[in-house]
Amino acid sequence: MSEQQLFKVTIDNITIEVPAGTSILEAARKIGGEVAPPAMCFYSKLKGSGGKCRTCLVEVSKGSEKDPRPMPKLVASCRTTVMDGMEVKNITSPKVVDARAGVVEFLLLNHPLDCPICDQAGECHLQDLSYEHGKEGTRYEFQRRKFKKHDLGPYIQLHMTRCIMCFRCVYTANQVTDSRVHGVLDRGDHAEIATYIEKSLDNDFIGNVIDVCPVGALTDKTFRFKNRVWFLKPMDAHRDCPKCSGKVTLWNRGEEVFRVTARKDEWGEVEDWICNECRFEKKNSSDWVIEGPREISRHSVISQGHYVNTVKPTETFLAVNDGRAPHLLLDIHSESDVNKPEIELSLINGPAHSNNFNSK
Amino acid sequence: MQALTNRAKQVDRAPMTFIEQLYLWNIVKGMAITFMHMFKKQPTIRYPEQKREFSPVFRGLHVLNRDEEGKERCTACGLCAVACPAEAITMEAAERLESEEHLYREEKYAAKYEINMLRCIYCGLCEEACPKDAIYLSETFTPADFNRKNFIYKKTDLLIPNPTTDAQGFAAAKGLN
Protein backbone atom coordinates (compact mmCIF):
# COMPACT_ATOMS: atom_id res chain seq x y z
CA MET A 1 0.00 0.00 0.00
CA SER A 2 2.21 2.79 -1.27
CA GLU A 3 -0.50 5.37 -1.66
CA GLN A 4 -2.33 6.70 1.33
CA GLN A 5 -5.77 5.23 1.58
CA LEU A 6 -8.59 7.67 0.89
CA PHE A 7 -11.90 7.35 2.71
CA LYS A 8 -15.12 8.64 1.30
CA VAL A 9 -17.14 10.46 3.93
CA THR A 10 -20.45 12.30 3.60
CA ILE A 11 -21.06 15.21 5.92
CA ASP A 12 -24.41 16.96 5.67
CA ASN A 13 -24.93 15.36 2.23
CA ILE A 14 -21.62 16.69 0.93
CA THR A 15 -19.17 13.94 0.01
CA ILE A 16 -15.44 14.42 0.35
CA GLU A 17 -12.45 12.10 0.19
CA VAL A 18 -9.99 12.38 3.03
CA PRO A 19 -6.96 10.31 4.02
CA ALA A 20 -7.47 7.63 6.64
CA GLY A 21 -6.95 8.83 10.18
CA THR A 22 -8.56 12.23 9.62
CA SER A 23 -11.05 13.28 12.25
CA ILE A 24 -14.61 14.12 11.26
CA LEU A 25 -14.05 17.72 12.33
CA GLU A 26 -11.05 18.14 10.06
CA ALA A 27 -12.89 16.52 7.16
CA ALA A 28 -15.77 18.94 7.72
CA ARG A 29 -13.36 21.86 7.83
CA LYS A 30 -12.08 20.79 4.43
CA ILE A 31 -15.60 21.28 3.11
CA GLY A 32 -15.77 24.51 5.06
CA GLY A 33 -18.64 26.84 5.81
CA GLU A 34 -21.42 25.92 8.18
CA VAL A 35 -20.77 22.22 7.83
CA ALA A 36 -17.72 22.48 10.09
CA PRO A 37 -18.78 21.93 13.70
CA PRO A 38 -17.69 24.61 16.17
CA ALA A 39 -14.78 23.72 18.44
CA MET A 40 -13.90 25.31 21.75
CA CYS A 41 -11.15 23.00 22.94
CA PHE A 42 -9.84 21.34 19.76
CA TYR A 43 -6.91 23.15 18.17
CA SER A 44 -5.45 21.57 15.04
CA LYS A 45 -1.97 22.86 15.85
CA LEU A 46 -1.87 21.38 19.32
CA LYS A 47 -1.37 17.65 19.56
CA GLY A 48 -3.75 15.90 21.90
CA SER A 49 -6.22 18.77 22.18
CA GLY A 50 -9.93 18.20 21.87
CA GLY A 51 -12.55 15.98 23.40
CA LYS A 52 -13.32 18.21 26.37
CA CYS A 53 -15.87 20.84 25.51
CA ARG A 54 -18.39 18.67 23.57
CA THR A 55 -19.47 21.52 21.29
CA CYS A 56 -18.36 19.62 18.19
CA LEU A 57 -20.88 16.79 18.73
CA VAL A 58 -22.18 15.27 15.50
CA GLU A 59 -24.52 12.44 14.64
CA VAL A 60 -23.07 9.49 12.71
CA SER A 61 -26.05 8.08 10.82
CA LYS A 62 -24.01 5.38 9.07
CA GLY A 63 -20.87 3.98 10.63
CA SER A 64 -19.07 2.80 7.51
CA GLU A 65 -19.54 0.86 4.29
CA LYS A 66 -18.82 -2.44 6.01
CA ASP A 67 -20.82 -1.75 9.15
CA PRO A 68 -23.66 0.61 8.21
CA ARG A 69 -25.19 0.73 11.68
CA PRO A 70 -25.47 4.27 13.07
CA MET A 71 -23.45 5.13 16.17
CA PRO A 72 -25.72 4.94 19.22
CA LYS A 73 -24.83 8.34 20.63
CA LEU A 74 -23.66 11.68 19.33
CA VAL A 75 -19.88 11.61 18.99
CA ALA A 76 -17.26 14.28 19.49
CA SER A 77 -16.15 14.96 15.93
CA CYS A 78 -12.70 16.21 16.90
CA ARG A 79 -11.77 12.84 18.39
CA THR A 80 -13.61 10.46 16.03
CA THR A 81 -11.75 9.43 12.90
CA VAL A 82 -13.59 8.88 9.66
CA MET A 83 -14.36 5.46 8.20
CA ASP A 84 -14.94 4.64 4.56
CA GLY A 85 -18.52 5.40 3.55
CA MET A 86 -19.34 7.14 6.82
CA GLU A 87 -22.33 9.43 6.81
CA VAL A 88 -22.32 12.29 9.29
CA LYS A 89 -25.06 14.76 10.10
CA ASN A 90 -24.11 18.06 11.62
CA ILE A 91 -26.50 20.96 11.13
CA THR A 92 -29.01 18.78 9.28
CA SER A 93 -29.68 16.80 12.43
CA PRO A 94 -32.08 18.39 14.92
CA LYS A 95 -30.60 16.13 17.61
CA VAL A 96 -27.18 17.73 17.13
CA VAL A 97 -28.52 21.27 17.12
CA ASP A 98 -30.44 20.58 20.29
CA ALA A 99 -27.50 18.89 22.00
CA ARG A 100 -25.21 21.74 21.07
CA ALA A 101 -27.62 24.29 22.53
CA GLY A 102 -27.52 22.26 25.72
CA VAL A 103 -23.74 22.17 25.73
CA VAL A 104 -23.61 25.93 25.27
CA GLU A 105 -25.90 26.39 28.21
CA PHE A 106 -23.66 24.18 30.33
CA LEU A 107 -20.59 26.13 29.28
CA LEU A 108 -22.34 29.31 30.35
CA LEU A 109 -23.29 27.89 33.76
CA ASN A 110 -20.22 29.20 35.49
CA HIS A 111 -19.35 31.85 32.95
CA PRO A 112 -19.77 35.29 34.50
CA LEU A 113 -21.19 36.89 31.31
CA ASP A 114 -19.18 40.01 32.01
CA CYS A 115 -18.69 40.69 28.32
CA PRO A 116 -18.95 44.48 28.80
CA ILE A 117 -15.73 44.36 30.82
CA CYS A 118 -14.02 41.50 29.05
CA ASP A 119 -11.29 42.34 26.56
CA GLN A 120 -12.12 39.25 24.52
CA ALA A 121 -15.62 40.51 23.66
CA GLY A 122 -16.02 40.79 19.92
CA GLU A 123 -13.59 37.99 19.16
CA CYS A 124 -14.74 35.51 21.77
CA HIS A 125 -15.61 32.04 20.52
CA LEU A 126 -17.98 31.40 23.40
CA GLN A 127 -19.84 34.63 22.62
CA ASP A 128 -20.15 33.63 18.96
CA LEU A 129 -21.19 30.12 19.88
CA SER A 130 -23.86 31.21 22.32
CA TYR A 131 -25.35 33.76 19.95
CA GLU A 132 -25.32 31.25 17.10
CA HIS A 133 -27.34 28.86 19.21
CA GLY A 134 -29.74 31.36 20.67
CA LYS A 135 -28.51 30.87 24.22
CA GLU A 136 -26.90 34.21 24.89
CA GLY A 137 -28.69 34.40 28.21
CA THR A 138 -28.50 32.00 31.10
CA ARG A 139 -31.11 30.41 33.32
CA TYR A 140 -28.64 29.76 36.11
CA GLU A 141 -29.56 31.63 39.26
CA PHE A 142 -27.06 30.34 41.78
CA GLN A 143 -23.69 31.49 42.96
CA ARG A 144 -21.10 30.99 40.26
CA ARG A 145 -17.58 29.74 40.83
CA LYS A 146 -15.27 32.15 42.58
CA PHE A 147 -11.50 32.06 42.62
CA LYS A 148 -8.65 33.69 44.41
CA LYS A 149 -6.99 36.29 42.21
CA HIS A 150 -3.90 34.85 40.65
CA ASP A 151 -1.14 37.05 39.32
CA LEU A 152 0.53 35.62 36.24
CA GLY A 153 3.11 38.35 35.79
CA PRO A 154 3.28 41.56 33.81
CA TYR A 155 2.11 40.17 30.48
CA ILE A 156 -0.77 37.84 31.00
CA GLN A 157 -3.99 38.49 32.87
CA LEU A 158 -5.87 35.49 34.20
CA HIS A 159 -9.62 35.64 34.80
CA MET A 160 -10.32 32.20 36.13
CA THR A 161 -14.09 32.79 36.36
CA ARG A 162 -14.32 33.00 32.59
CA CYS A 163 -12.36 29.80 31.96
CA ILE A 164 -14.18 26.88 30.32
CA MET A 165 -11.40 24.34 30.99
CA CYS A 166 -10.41 23.64 27.42
CA PHE A 167 -6.78 22.85 28.35
CA ARG A 168 -5.51 24.61 25.22
CA CYS A 169 -3.14 26.84 27.18
CA VAL A 170 -1.66 23.82 28.93
CA TYR A 171 -0.95 22.10 25.61
CA THR A 172 0.48 25.33 24.22
CA ALA A 173 2.89 25.67 27.11
CA ASN A 174 3.91 22.03 26.68
CA GLN A 175 4.31 22.02 22.94
CA VAL A 176 5.33 25.56 22.02
CA THR A 177 7.39 26.81 24.94
CA ASP A 178 10.45 25.38 26.68
CA SER A 179 8.85 24.86 30.04
CA ARG A 180 5.41 24.90 31.53
CA VAL A 181 4.83 26.54 34.88
CA HIS A 182 1.03 26.65 34.85
CA GLY A 183 -1.42 23.83 34.77
CA VAL A 184 -4.73 22.59 36.04
CA LEU A 185 -4.94 22.30 39.81
CA ASP A 186 -7.60 20.32 41.66
CA ARG A 187 -10.34 18.23 40.16
CA GLY A 188 -13.90 18.46 38.94
CA ASP A 189 -15.74 21.57 39.92
CA HIS A 190 -12.69 22.94 41.72
CA ALA A 191 -10.35 22.58 38.76
CA GLU A 192 -8.58 25.78 37.94
CA ILE A 193 -5.75 27.03 35.78
CA ALA A 194 -2.96 28.33 38.00
CA THR A 195 0.67 28.16 38.84
CA TYR A 196 1.12 26.05 41.95
CA ILE A 197 3.51 28.49 43.55
CA GLU A 198 2.71 32.07 42.63
CA LYS A 199 4.94 32.47 39.62
CA SER A 200 4.80 34.67 36.58
CA LEU A 201 4.47 33.20 33.12
CA ASP A 202 7.37 34.76 31.29
CA ASN A 203 9.12 32.07 29.28
CA ASP A 204 9.36 32.90 25.62
CA PHE A 205 6.37 32.07 23.39
CA ILE A 206 4.09 31.81 26.45
CA GLY A 207 2.14 34.79 25.06
CA ASN A 208 0.53 32.38 22.62
CA VAL A 209 -1.76 31.14 25.40
CA ILE A 210 -3.61 34.44 24.93
CA ASP A 211 -4.34 33.63 21.31
CA VAL A 212 -5.38 30.04 21.89
CA CYS A 213 -7.75 30.89 24.74
CA PRO A 214 -11.25 30.67 23.25
CA VAL A 215 -12.70 32.91 25.97
CA GLY A 216 -11.37 35.87 27.91
CA ALA A 217 -9.69 33.86 30.65
CA LEU A 218 -6.20 34.67 29.45
CA THR A 219 -5.86 38.14 28.02
CA ASP A 220 -3.06 40.51 27.16
CA LYS A 221 -2.20 42.66 30.19
CA THR A 222 -0.46 45.25 28.04
CA PHE A 223 -3.74 45.73 26.17
CA ARG A 224 -6.02 45.40 29.19
CA PHE A 225 -8.95 47.85 29.04
CA LYS A 226 -7.10 50.01 26.51
CA ASN A 227 -9.69 49.80 23.81
CA ARG A 228 -12.39 47.60 22.38
CA VAL A 229 -11.30 45.38 19.53
CA TRP A 230 -13.97 46.71 17.20
CA PHE A 231 -12.60 50.23 17.41
CA LEU A 232 -9.16 49.05 16.31
CA LYS A 233 -7.94 48.52 12.79
CA PRO A 234 -6.28 45.14 12.24
CA MET A 235 -3.26 45.36 9.94
CA ASP A 236 -1.03 42.58 8.70
CA ALA A 237 2.57 43.37 9.50
CA HIS A 238 5.90 41.63 9.87
CA ARG A 239 9.36 42.24 11.22
CA ASP A 240 12.65 40.39 11.20
CA CYS A 241 12.46 38.41 14.39
CA PRO A 242 15.30 36.03 15.25
CA LYS A 243 12.98 33.89 17.36
CA CYS A 244 9.74 33.58 15.43
CA SER A 245 8.33 34.14 11.96
CA GLY A 246 7.52 37.73 12.87
CA LYS A 247 4.23 37.62 10.96
CA VAL A 248 1.60 39.28 13.10
CA THR A 249 -1.59 41.29 13.09
CA LEU A 250 -1.28 44.79 14.52
CA TRP A 251 -4.34 46.32 16.09
CA ASN A 252 -3.98 50.00 15.38
CA ARG A 253 -5.86 53.11 16.17
CA GLY A 254 -4.44 55.77 13.94
CA GLU A 255 -0.70 55.20 14.14
CA GLU A 256 -0.79 53.84 17.67
CA VAL A 257 -0.24 50.09 17.98
CA PHE A 258 -2.54 48.94 20.73
CA ARG A 259 -2.05 45.23 20.49
CA VAL A 260 -0.07 42.64 18.59
CA THR A 261 -1.52 39.19 17.99
CA ALA A 262 -0.73 36.27 15.76
CA ARG A 263 -2.64 36.03 12.50
CA LYS A 264 -5.73 33.92 12.88
CA ASP A 265 -7.33 31.85 10.15
CA GLU A 266 -11.02 31.35 9.53
CA TRP A 267 -11.28 28.80 12.34
CA GLY A 268 -9.77 31.24 14.81
CA GLU A 269 -6.48 29.35 14.97
CA VAL A 270 -3.14 31.08 14.72
CA GLU A 271 -1.17 30.72 11.50
CA ASP A 272 2.23 31.14 13.14
CA TRP A 273 3.20 31.18 16.78
CA ILE A 274 4.82 34.49 17.69
CA CYS A 275 7.32 35.23 20.42
CA ASN A 276 6.81 37.36 23.50
CA GLU A 277 9.04 40.13 22.24
CA CYS A 278 6.96 40.65 19.11
CA ARG A 279 3.73 40.45 21.07
CA PHE A 280 4.41 42.56 24.11
CA GLU A 281 7.37 44.84 23.46
CA LYS A 282 7.02 46.14 19.93
CA LYS A 283 4.30 48.75 20.33
CA ASN A 284 5.65 51.29 17.86
CA SER A 285 4.54 51.28 14.27
CA SER A 286 8.17 51.96 13.31
CA ASP A 287 9.07 48.45 14.52
CA TRP A 288 6.88 46.88 11.86
CA VAL A 289 6.58 46.66 8.11
CA ILE A 290 2.88 47.10 7.38
CA GLU A 291 1.54 44.81 4.66
CA GLY A 292 -2.03 46.03 4.52
CA PRO A 293 -5.36 45.75 6.29
CA ARG A 294 -6.31 42.32 7.50
CA GLU A 295 -9.38 40.75 6.02
CA ILE A 296 -12.06 40.31 8.64
CA SER A 297 -15.24 38.33 8.19
CA ARG A 298 -18.09 40.61 7.29
CA HIS A 299 -20.18 39.09 10.05
CA SER A 300 -17.73 40.00 12.77
CA VAL A 301 -18.27 43.13 14.84
CA ILE A 302 -14.61 43.93 14.20
CA SER A 303 -15.45 44.68 10.59
CA GLN A 304 -17.79 47.50 11.58
CA GLY A 305 -16.74 50.72 9.93
CA HIS A 306 -14.23 48.92 7.71
CA TYR A 307 -15.37 49.50 4.19
CA VAL A 308 -13.88 47.32 1.48
CA ASN A 309 -13.37 48.51 -2.09
CA THR A 310 -14.63 52.00 -1.40
CA VAL A 311 -13.37 54.87 -3.49
CA LYS A 312 -12.61 57.90 -1.40
CA PRO A 313 -13.58 61.04 -3.31
CA THR A 314 -10.80 63.59 -3.68
CA GLU A 315 -11.05 66.73 -1.60
CA THR A 316 -12.21 69.51 -3.91
CA PHE A 317 -12.46 72.27 -1.33
CA LEU A 318 -8.97 73.71 -1.86
CA ALA A 319 -9.37 73.70 -5.63
CA VAL A 320 -12.66 75.58 -5.69
CA ASN A 321 -11.65 77.94 -2.88
CA ASP A 322 -8.43 79.23 -4.50
CA GLY A 323 -6.25 77.07 -2.29
CA ARG A 324 -7.64 78.39 0.99
CA ALA A 325 -8.31 75.85 3.70
CA PRO A 326 -11.84 75.69 5.12
CA HIS A 327 -12.46 77.76 8.23
CA LEU A 328 -13.21 75.33 11.01
CA LEU A 329 -15.81 76.52 13.47
CA LEU A 330 -14.75 73.84 15.92
CA ASP A 331 -11.67 71.67 15.96
CA ILE A 332 -12.82 68.69 17.94
CA HIS A 333 -9.27 67.71 18.92
CA SER A 334 -8.71 70.96 20.76
CA GLU A 335 -11.89 70.52 22.75
CA SER A 336 -12.15 66.78 23.31
CA ASP A 337 -10.52 65.07 26.29
CA VAL A 338 -10.37 61.72 24.54
CA ASN A 339 -7.33 60.71 22.46
CA LYS A 340 -5.09 63.34 23.98
CA PRO A 341 -1.70 63.05 22.27
CA GLU A 342 0.20 63.40 25.56
CA ILE A 343 -1.56 60.37 27.05
CA GLU A 344 -0.30 57.46 24.96
CA LEU A 345 -2.48 54.65 26.19
CA SER A 346 -0.73 52.06 24.06
CA LEU A 347 2.62 52.71 25.74
CA ILE A 348 1.35 52.42 29.32
CA ASN A 349 2.45 49.10 30.76
CA GLY A 350 -0.70 47.35 31.87
CA PRO A 351 -4.13 48.90 32.20
CA ALA A 352 -4.57 52.64 32.58
CA HIS A 353 -5.60 53.95 35.99
CA SER A 354 -7.07 57.22 37.14
CA ASN A 355 -3.57 58.57 37.92
CA ASN A 356 -2.58 58.14 34.28
CA PHE A 357 -5.28 60.60 33.33
CA ASN A 358 -5.03 62.95 36.28
CA SER A 359 -1.29 63.51 36.26
CA LYS A 360 -1.38 65.22 32.91
CA MET B 1 -59.91 67.35 -23.02
CA GLN B 2 -61.73 65.41 -20.39
CA ALA B 3 -61.20 66.58 -16.82
CA LEU B 4 -59.72 64.08 -14.40
CA THR B 5 -62.04 65.10 -11.58
CA ASN B 6 -65.30 66.95 -11.41
CA ARG B 7 -63.78 69.50 -9.05
CA ALA B 8 -61.83 71.28 -11.80
CA LYS B 9 -63.10 74.79 -12.36
CA GLN B 10 -62.81 76.81 -15.48
CA VAL B 11 -60.82 79.98 -14.80
CA ASP B 12 -62.94 82.99 -15.38
CA ARG B 13 -60.88 85.41 -17.44
CA ALA B 14 -63.59 88.06 -17.90
CA PRO B 15 -62.46 91.63 -16.96
CA MET B 16 -63.48 92.74 -13.44
CA THR B 17 -66.50 95.02 -13.06
CA PHE B 18 -66.19 98.39 -11.28
CA ILE B 19 -67.58 97.00 -8.00
CA GLU B 20 -65.10 94.18 -8.07
CA GLN B 21 -62.27 96.60 -8.76
CA LEU B 22 -62.96 98.39 -5.46
CA TYR B 23 -62.17 95.11 -3.54
CA LEU B 24 -64.49 96.23 -0.76
CA TRP B 25 -66.27 92.96 -0.28
CA ASN B 26 -63.00 91.01 -0.30
CA ILE B 27 -61.43 93.33 2.28
CA VAL B 28 -64.41 92.86 4.59
CA LYS B 29 -64.19 89.10 4.13
CA GLY B 30 -60.49 89.08 5.03
CA MET B 31 -60.99 91.30 8.08
CA ALA B 32 -63.77 89.01 9.30
CA ILE B 33 -61.43 86.02 9.20
CA THR B 34 -58.76 87.95 11.14
CA PHE B 35 -61.36 89.05 13.70
CA MET B 36 -62.63 85.51 14.16
CA HIS B 37 -59.15 84.38 15.19
CA MET B 38 -59.32 86.56 18.30
CA PHE B 39 -61.84 84.13 19.78
CA LYS B 40 -59.98 80.97 18.89
CA LYS B 41 -57.71 78.97 21.21
CA GLN B 42 -54.10 80.17 21.17
CA PRO B 43 -51.62 77.61 19.90
CA THR B 44 -48.61 79.42 21.37
CA ILE B 45 -47.48 79.31 24.99
CA ARG B 46 -45.38 81.79 26.98
CA TYR B 47 -42.26 79.62 26.93
CA PRO B 48 -39.98 80.32 29.87
CA GLU B 49 -42.90 80.60 32.33
CA GLN B 50 -45.05 77.95 30.75
CA LYS B 51 -43.60 74.69 29.52
CA ARG B 52 -45.10 72.11 27.28
CA GLU B 53 -45.47 68.64 28.67
CA PHE B 54 -43.09 66.07 27.23
CA SER B 55 -44.15 62.68 26.06
CA PRO B 56 -42.84 59.94 28.37
CA VAL B 57 -40.82 58.54 25.47
CA PHE B 58 -39.20 61.87 24.68
CA ARG B 59 -35.49 61.50 24.00
CA GLY B 60 -33.46 64.48 25.12
CA LEU B 61 -30.19 65.17 26.87
CA HIS B 62 -28.23 62.11 27.99
CA VAL B 63 -27.49 61.24 31.59
CA LEU B 64 -24.97 58.74 32.90
CA ASN B 65 -26.65 56.80 35.63
CA ARG B 66 -25.40 55.71 39.04
CA ASP B 67 -26.63 52.85 41.16
CA GLU B 68 -28.26 53.19 44.61
CA GLU B 69 -24.88 53.45 46.33
CA GLY B 70 -23.77 56.22 44.03
CA LYS B 71 -21.36 54.10 42.02
CA GLU B 72 -21.06 54.82 38.32
CA ARG B 73 -22.68 52.15 36.26
CA CYS B 74 -20.77 52.70 33.02
CA THR B 75 -18.02 50.17 32.35
CA ALA B 76 -16.85 51.70 29.07
CA CYS B 77 -17.82 48.62 27.10
CA GLY B 78 -18.13 50.73 23.98
CA LEU B 79 -21.49 49.33 22.88
CA CYS B 80 -23.10 52.78 22.86
CA ALA B 81 -20.29 54.10 20.72
CA VAL B 82 -20.53 51.21 18.30
CA ALA B 83 -24.31 51.53 18.11
CA CYS B 84 -24.23 55.30 17.60
CA PRO B 85 -25.13 56.03 13.98
CA ALA B 86 -23.78 59.57 14.22
CA GLU B 87 -20.49 58.52 15.85
CA ALA B 88 -21.01 61.07 18.59
CA ILE B 89 -19.76 59.03 21.55
CA THR B 90 -16.12 58.50 22.47
CA MET B 91 -14.59 57.12 25.62
CA GLU B 92 -11.45 55.91 27.27
CA ALA B 93 -11.46 53.15 29.84
CA ALA B 94 -9.36 52.63 32.93
CA GLU B 95 -9.01 50.01 35.62
CA ARG B 96 -10.46 50.73 39.04
CA LEU B 97 -7.92 51.08 41.84
CA GLU B 98 -8.53 49.48 45.24
CA SER B 99 -9.26 52.90 46.72
CA GLU B 100 -11.89 53.69 44.11
CA GLU B 101 -14.28 50.85 44.78
CA HIS B 102 -16.89 53.21 46.20
CA LEU B 103 -16.87 55.22 42.96
CA TYR B 104 -17.26 52.60 40.28
CA ARG B 105 -19.39 49.51 40.14
CA GLU B 106 -17.10 47.26 38.13
CA GLU B 107 -13.36 46.86 37.83
CA LYS B 108 -13.34 48.75 34.56
CA TYR B 109 -14.84 52.19 34.19
CA ALA B 110 -14.96 55.09 31.77
CA ALA B 111 -12.17 57.48 32.66
CA LYS B 112 -13.26 59.73 29.83
CA TYR B 113 -16.71 59.80 28.32
CA GLU B 114 -17.80 62.35 25.79
CA ILE B 115 -20.87 62.96 23.70
CA ASN B 116 -20.70 65.47 20.91
CA MET B 117 -24.19 66.97 21.05
CA LEU B 118 -23.64 68.60 17.67
CA ARG B 119 -23.37 65.18 16.10
CA CYS B 120 -25.98 63.44 18.24
CA ILE B 121 -29.31 62.80 16.55
CA TYR B 122 -31.11 61.70 19.75
CA CYS B 123 -32.09 58.36 18.31
CA GLY B 124 -31.70 56.55 21.64
CA LEU B 125 -29.73 53.63 20.25
CA CYS B 126 -27.04 54.15 22.91
CA GLU B 127 -29.69 53.73 25.59
CA GLU B 128 -30.90 50.59 23.89
CA ALA B 129 -27.41 49.14 23.46
CA CYS B 130 -26.26 49.74 27.04
CA PRO B 131 -26.01 46.41 28.89
CA LYS B 132 -25.47 48.12 32.25
CA ASP B 133 -28.41 50.57 32.31
CA ALA B 134 -25.82 53.32 32.44
CA ILE B 135 -26.96 55.79 29.81
CA TYR B 136 -30.41 57.28 29.51
CA LEU B 137 -31.93 59.99 27.39
CA SER B 138 -33.76 62.36 29.73
CA GLU B 139 -36.87 64.44 29.20
CA THR B 140 -35.01 67.69 28.73
CA PHE B 141 -33.59 69.54 25.79
CA THR B 142 -29.91 70.10 25.30
CA PRO B 143 -29.65 73.79 26.19
CA ALA B 144 -28.85 76.20 23.40
CA ASP B 145 -25.48 77.90 23.42
CA PHE B 146 -23.50 80.45 21.46
CA ASN B 147 -20.30 78.40 21.40
CA ARG B 148 -19.85 75.14 19.57
CA LYS B 149 -17.29 73.91 22.06
CA ASN B 150 -19.88 73.94 24.82
CA PHE B 151 -21.73 71.16 23.04
CA ILE B 152 -18.96 68.65 23.72
CA TYR B 153 -20.42 67.12 26.87
CA LYS B 154 -17.83 65.61 29.17
CA LYS B 155 -18.43 63.04 31.88
CA THR B 156 -18.91 65.75 34.52
CA ASP B 157 -21.73 67.25 32.44
CA LEU B 158 -23.44 63.95 31.87
CA LEU B 159 -23.22 62.21 35.26
CA ILE B 160 -26.32 62.20 37.40
CA PRO B 161 -25.80 63.73 40.90
CA ASN B 162 -24.62 61.24 43.50
CA PRO B 163 -27.64 60.01 45.53
CA THR B 164 -25.57 59.58 48.71
CA THR B 165 -24.09 63.08 48.78
CA ASP B 166 -26.65 65.05 46.78
CA ALA B 167 -29.95 63.24 47.25
CA GLN B 168 -31.97 66.29 46.22
CA GLY B 169 -30.12 66.79 42.98
CA PHE B 170 -30.44 63.08 42.23
CA ALA B 171 -34.19 63.17 42.77
CA ALA B 172 -34.51 66.28 40.64
CA ALA B 173 -32.52 64.70 37.84
CA LYS B 174 -34.72 61.62 38.01
CA GLY B 175 -37.82 63.83 37.91
CA LEU B 176 -39.10 62.38 41.19
CA ASN B 177 -40.31 65.62 42.77
Q: Specify whether the CB–CB gap between A283 and A270 falls below 8 A.
A: no
Answer for the pair A41, A49: CB distance below 8 angstroms, yes or no. yes
Q: What sign does the CA torsion over A11, A14, A15, A16 have?
A: negative
Q: Which residue of B has its CA nearest to A303?
A: B82
What digits encode the pLDDT tens for the residues A227-270? 999 999 999 999 999 988 889 999 998 888 999 999 999 898 99
The count of CB pairs under 8 A between chains A and B is 78
| Dist. CA A332–CA A353, nearest whole Å | 24
* pLDDT mean across residues, chain A: 89
Q: Please identify, in words, the CATH class of the domain defined by A6-106.
A: alpha beta
pLDDT of residue A1: 47
Helices (H), chain A: 24-31, 94-107, 125-132, 168-175, 208-212, 276, 317-320, 332-335, 354-358
- Give CA torsion, residues B47, B51, B56, B61, to 10 deg: 50
Beta pairing, strands B89-95 & B108-116: antiparallel
Q: Is B62-174 a domain of CATH 3.30.70.3270?
A: yes
Nearest to B148 among A115, A329, A356 (CB): A329
Chain B residue numbers touching A357 (CB-CB < 8 A): 92, 94, 111-112
Residues A168-188 pLDDT 10s: 999 999 999 988 889 998 888
| Whole-number pLDDT of residue B177 | 55
Q: Does A359 touch chain B (CB under 8 A)?
A: no
Q: For residue A356, which residues of chain B lie inside 8 Å, CB to CB?
A: 94, 111
Is A319 in the B-facing interface, judged by CB distances under 8 Å? no
Predicted pLDDT at B63:
93
- Residue A148's pLDDT is 82
Using pLDDT thresholds of 50, 70 and 90, give the confidence band for residue B176. Answer: low
Question: pLDDT (tens digit, 9 = 90+) per residue, B92-143?
Answer: 999 999 899 999 999 999 999 999 999 999 999 999 999 999 999 988 888 9
Between chains, do A231 and B106 touch, taking CB under 8 Å as contact? no
CB within 8 Å: B112 and A353: no
Contact check, Cβ <8 Å, A121/B81? no
Residue A341 has pLDDT above 50, yes or no: yes
Q: How far is residue A205's CA from residue A169's CA, in Å, rounded to a whole number? A: 11
On the question of a common fold for A6-106 and A141-220, the answer reads no
SS3 assignment for A328-351: CCCCHHHHCCCCCCCCCHHHCCCC
pLDDT digits (tens, 9 = 90+) for B59-95: 999 999 999 899 999 999 999 999 999 999 999 999 9
Residue A225 sits at the chain B interface (C-beta within 8 Å): yes
- Contact indicator for A195, B45 with CB cutoff of 8 Å: no
A329 CB near a chain B CB, below 8 Å?
Answer: yes
What is the distance in angstroms between the Cα of B109 and the nearest Cα belonging to chain A?
9
Q: Which residues pair with A158 in a beta bridge?
A: A218
Taking CA–CA distances from B155, the nearest residue in chain A reads A337
CA distance B13 to A29: 83
Per-residue pLDDT, A40 = 92
Checking if the pLDDT of A66 tops 70, the result is: yes
Distance (Å) of CA B13 to CA A52, B10, B16, B21? 93, 9, 9, 14
Q: Each residue of A274-296: pLDDT tens digit?
A: 999 999 998 888 989 999 888 88
Under the banding of pLDDT at 50, 70 and 90, the label for residue A315 is confident
What residues in B contact A225, CB-CB < 8 Å? 76, 93-95, 108
ipTM of model over 0.85: no
Q: Which amino acid is at B28?
A: V
* Set of chain A residues whose Cβ sits within 8 Å of the Cβ of B108: 117, 225
* Residue spans per domain, chain A: 6-106, 141-220, 229-303, 317-358
CA A198 to chain centre: 26
Does A348 lie at the interface with B, CB-CB under 8 angstroms? no
Residue in A159, A338, A348 to test binding to B, most B beta-carbons within 10 Å: A338
Asked if B143 and B100 touch (Cβ cutoff 8 Å), the reply is no
3-state SS track over chain B: CCCCCCCCCCCCCCCCCHHHHHCHHHHHHHHHHHHHHHHCCCCCCCCCCCCCCCCCCCCCCEEECECCCCCECCCCCCHHHHHCCCCCEEEEEEECCHHHCCCECCCEEEEEEEEECCCCCCCCHHHHHCCCCCEEECCCCCCCCCCHHHHEECHHHHECCCCCCCHHHHHHHHCCC
Mutate to test the interface with B, among A118, A120, A162, A335 (most CBs of B within 10 A): A335
The answer to whether the CB atoms of A353 and B149 lie below 8 A apart is no
CATH topology for the A141-220 domain = Alpha-Beta Plaits (3.30.70)
Residue contact A117–B77, C-beta within 8 A: yes
Measured between CB atoms, which of A114, A116, A330 is closest to B149? A330
Per-residue pLDDT, B33: 96
